[in-house]
Structure 1
């Protein structure tokens, strides 16, 4: 147990806890440490009995996550593809294609790095309900671990608001690669309108996905009892997969459009020669 002096020394942390259904802004939720200060005190009390070896292992794990975050840009599959293309084009970034590949790689790398960095936020001190045999809530217990990234507001913001935005902005940029390649071949033909249209629809669905993630702010993750709102997340992900299905359909339409128009153009070239 913590001594009265130790509890007093931790009281300054209470401002980072959003308790008893208190109204708080998204900014306050981002920098919060939990929804129950008592749970935090209980956790700190338990920490007194952790061996120095365990504390060292925890510190090493945090350092490992930071190192993995820094090396993340070199671990993604696009790194080698991007490097090969750069070498083949002699690092000539004046070419539009090279700019697209570079921007795509930078944004995807940033997204991956942020997603990995979120793993360092492993604790959030909140309530979890206890039930009787009839399934009624009879009380609340403490949880210390943020087992899912949604359970930590700042981690949710970093890994799903920011990282998702970087991922899909990078993908949107990359989606223009086949468009530019096709444009070079068609040289202003009217059929390019269909490619612009389908590419635009494809990009639009990804923008919708980014906005949809942002719509679930940190202040919505926990209910008035300080309990992680699983039901809200279930509804959220149901709609999320509907949007993902839209992304898939528009991707197929875009690919088929490019393929059919290129096929028609190549047949015309073959016929004329």
Structure 2
């Protein structure tokens, strides 16, 4: 059924219309088809209440600008222009819109991503001198990328022809590539300096955390990678440093090719080194998103752990209070054992029944709901003392056994009445 519908549509409108629809789809969908879109969605879910933090805005800006660059590059498919005796992308419109301006947005996205290590370093170190160095090297790094944007507009208008009317080779595209890859070399050198400044600032924190994790034998490198943000940042920077020698060799070989006008060999080497550069960039920026997701995940786990510890401490504190209260009651009970055979208590013995001893909230549930009573162990007998000079109670407290208030238990309610 689906095949029949496709065949009918294809037969009616032809392959050109179908290809045009596909190209329109490519222009519309770069924001969703971007490799960073799933990461940005996950970060939004984890930070939906505080997504306006600078570090989150940096990630959003990186994804947004690079997606706009992809959109502009895909507009080339709508024009579908080719020409004989010209280099890709064949027309000046494609060169400036789908290539030059697209690279402006791609590099703007990279600049946004370059600020992520600076913000993360600022969050873990208070050394103002180191932060000043990182800030300066980051600005220099960004300036080299601005120069990379400018390389697409240095020769205006650019001549994309392979040969001119006289059969001479046109070197505009080769000159551009020398400018472009020189800017890439400057980017990598400044990136190296920037990375070293960040590593220098983070090494103390990293070594301290590695020392902590060294005590746990089960912590593999993957566990440390998931737990330590500084390790992730430094690892991504080491990858960039490894890429630097290959890039320098390529720029040197490119200059030699320009002198010899070996355009075919240049095209092959340019394609391979560009693929390697994109792999390095993709790794570094993907680690940036993963780092933020893992940081949020670890923070949530710590909050849950703190809540459990707080509940445990409260329970322990309540248990200690209850134990202390019961100890006081047992002490009173022991003191009253000596008076089992006597209907009278001395003043000092009665004072031991002071209600302040039994003020713990853990015993509140044992008091009578219908009277202001306090529970203490008794001898199940009435106690009273009389003054020989007065026909009133001599004690400060009159202790009356209220056996009818509740059922007989190990504790009974004692009504405490002040003498007048």
Shorter-chain TM-score range: 0.5 to 0.7
**Structure 1 residue 266: Cα displacement:** 5.2
Counterpart of 2:14 in structure 1 is: 56
Q: Is the 8 A contact 1:157 1:218 kept in 2?
A: no
The answer to whether residue 145 in structure 2 is matched with residue 187 in structure 1 is no
Q: Normalization by structure 2: what TM-score?
A: 0.43
CA 207–54 in structure 1, closer or farther in 2 if over 3 Å, else same: farther
The count of corresponding residues between Structure 1 and Structure 2 is 201
**Structure 1 residue 147: Cα displacement:** 6.8
Counterpart of 1:82 in structure 2 is: 40
Q: Is the 8 A contact 1:161 1:213 kept in 2?
A: yes
Aligned with 2:111 (options 172, 184, 187): 172
SS at match of 1:183: helix
What is the CA–CA distance in structure 1 between the aligned matches of 2:166 and 2:101, rounded to whole Å?
Answer: 25
**Structure 1 residue 72: Cα displacement:** 1.6
What is the CA–CA distance in structure 2 between the aligned matches of 1:262 and 1:237, rounded to whole Å?
Answer: 36
**Structure 1 residue 58: Cα displacement:** 1.9
Aligned with 2:155 (options 204, 210, 216): 216
Counterpart of 1:260 in structure 2 is: 200
Q: Which runs of 5+ in 2 are unaligned?
A: 1-9, 212-420
Q: Which stretches of structure 1, 4 residues or longer, exceed 4 Å deviation after superposition?
A: 52-55, 222-230, 265-271
Counterpart of 1:13 in structure 2 is: none
The answer to whether residue 41 in structure 2 is matched with residue 101 in structure 1 is no
What is the CA–CA distance in structure 1 between the aligned matches of 2:12 and 2:174, rounded to whole Å?
Answer: 35
What is the CA–CA distance in structure 2 between the aligned matches of 1:188 and 1:256, rounded to whole Å?
Answer: 16
Counterpart of 1:234 in structure 2 is: 174
Aligned with 1:206 (options 145, 148, 165): 145
- Aligned residues: CA RMSD: 3.1
Aligned with 2:69 (options 108, 111, 131): 111
What is the CA–CA distance in structure 1 between the aligned matches of 2:168 and 2:120, rounded to whole Å?
Answer: 48
What is the CA–CA distance in structure 2 between the aligned matches of 1:228 and 1:177, rounded to whole Å?
Answer: 48
Q: Deviations over 1:63-91 (max 9, x none)?
A: 21110121122122111121111211126
What is the CA–CA distance in structure 1 between the aligned matches of 2:168 and 2:11, rounded to whole Å?
Answer: 32
SS at match of 1:194: helix
Please list, as runs of the form range in 1=range in 2, the aligned pairs for 1:26-45 lying within 5 A after superposition.
none
Q: Normalization by structure 1: what TM-score?
A: 0.64
What is the CA–CA distance in structure 1 between the aligned matches of 2:62 and 2:169, rounded to whole Å?
Answer: 35
Counterpart of 1:47 in structure 2 is: none
Q: Deviations over 1:119-175 (max 9, x none)?
A: 2222256x74xxxxxxxxxxxxxxxxx7721x2111111122211110001110111
CA 257–87 in structure 1, closer or farther in 2 if over 3 Å, else same: same
SS at match of 1:190: helix
What is the CA–CA distance in structure 2 between the aligned matches of 1:175 and 1:252, rounded to whole Å?
Answer: 12
**Structure 1 residue 55: Cα displacement:** 7.8
What is the CA–CA distance in structure 2 between the aligned matches of 1:242 and 1:96, rounded to whole Å?
Answer: 32
Q: Is the 8 A contact 2:134 2:198 kept in 1?
A: yes
Q: Which moved more, 1:110-119 or 1:91-100?
A: 91-100
Q: Which runs of 5+ in 1 are unaligned?
A: 1-51, 129-145
SS at match of 1:217: coil
Q: Is the 8 A contact 1:104 1:174 kept in 2?
A: yes
CA 124–268 in structure 1, closer or farther in 2 if over 3 Å, else same: closer
CA 86–112 in structure 1, closer or farther in 2 if over 3 Å, else same: same
